């Protein structure tokens, strides 16, 4: 076998390559955690050689940060889309928001694996921590605004403190159900989590979010 065979390759656009590398990084992390995200493993998955990574990113650290930003971006984007699609009553928009957060692809083992890997490091890494907090607060503010509209629409507007409290609680239910769904998806039937989520929010707010005809009582 002639050893001097040099690998064939194609030149891809810069944006494309960067995204490919980021995707490969996320694949590695989802499969084997941050430990599995070595430059060589990433390069292998991206179909390039390790050295190329440093041509697009100053160092592995920067690639990881870019990957994290990518994940956060997709998640918030998903949530925003869910909010934007329904432009009707606040009640329905809140319900849609809750539901969107509790069905695939948001509830998904891979997403969770990525989230856990990064979040575990956000505790010790200041930059990651700040990025996460920003995303979280944005999320909660969204919920709070929605809750304000819903309560106002129901004829019982709430004060600042009450709003904050409700937003925190609702956010918590969503997060908790999301967690359970990601960790043990096969324990829940399709739509069950969303159903429970919406029901819980209704109970907490004391407001029906859906039409009465849609509500089932067990």
Q: Which residues bind a second copy (CB under 8 A)?
A: 30-35, 109, 112-113, 116-117, 119-124, 132-133, 136, 159, 161-162, 165, 168-169, 171-177, 179-180, 183-184, 196-197, 199-200, 203-204, 206, 218
195-207 as b/e, with b when 16 or more CB fall inside 10 Å? bbbbbbbbeebeb
C-beta of residue 111 within 8 angstroms of C-beta of residue 185: no
- Among the candidate windows 58-66, 112-120, 149-157, 178-186, which touches DNA by CB under 7 A? 58-66
Which of a second copy, DNA, none has residue 165 at its interface (CB below 5 to 8 Å by kind)? a second copy
Q: Under the criterion CB under 7 A, does residue 10 sit at the interface with DNA?
A: yes
| Options 57-65, 93-101, 104-112, 116-124: segment touching DNA (CB under 7 A) | 57-65
**Looking at 22, 26, 30, 52, which residue binds DNA (CB under 7 A)?**
52
Minimum Å gap between C-beta 65 and DNA is 12
Give me 23's structure tokens: 């995707």
Please report whether residue 11 would count as binding DNA according to CB under 7 A.
yes
Q: Judge if the upstream peptide bond of residue 79 is cis by omega within 30 degrees of 0.
A: no
Instruction: Name which of 53 and 209 has its Cβ closer to DNA.
Output: 53
Smallest gap from Cβ 25 to DNA, in A, equals 10
Q: Which residue has the tokens 């994940």?
A: 71
Residue 146 exposure: Cα atoms within 13 Å on the Cβ side: 31
At CA 37, angle to CA 33 and CA 39, rounded to 5? 175
State how far the alpha carbon of 67 is from the alpha carbons of 25, 114, 214, in Å.
Answer: 7, 10, 40
Q: Give the distance, in angstroms, between the CA of residue 169 and the centroid of all CA atoms in the same chain.
A: 19
The site for DNA (CB under 7 A) is made up of 3, 5-12, 14, 17, 37-41, 43, 47-55, 59-61
């Amino acid at each position: 076998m002639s050893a001097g065979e040099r690998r064939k390759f194609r030149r891809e656009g810069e944006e494309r390559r960067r995204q490919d590398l980021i995707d490969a990084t996320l694949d590695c992390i989802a499969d084997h955690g941050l430990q599995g995200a070595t430059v060589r493993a990433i390069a292998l998955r991206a179909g390039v050689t390790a050295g190329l990574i440093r041509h697009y990113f100053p160092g592995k650290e920067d690639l990881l940060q870019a990957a994290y930003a990518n994940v956060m971006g997709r998640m918030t984007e998903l949530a925003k889309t869910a909010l934007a699609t329904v432009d009707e009553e606040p009640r329905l928009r809140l319900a849609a928001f809750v539901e969107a957060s509790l069905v695939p692809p948001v509830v998904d083992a891979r997403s969770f694996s990525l989230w856990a890997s990064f979040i575990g490091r956000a505790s010790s890494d200041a930059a990651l921590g700040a990025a996460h907090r920003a995303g979280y607060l944005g999320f909660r503010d969204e919920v709070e605004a929605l809750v304000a509209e819903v309560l106002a629409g129901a004829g019982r507007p709430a004060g600042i403190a009450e709003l904050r409290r409700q937003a925190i609680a609702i956010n918590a239910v969503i997060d908790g159900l999301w967690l359970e769904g990601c960790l043990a998806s096969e324990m829940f039937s399709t739509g069950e989590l969303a159903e429970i989520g919406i029901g819980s929010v209704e109970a907490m707010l004391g407001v029906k979010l859906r039409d009465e005809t849609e509500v089932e009582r067990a």
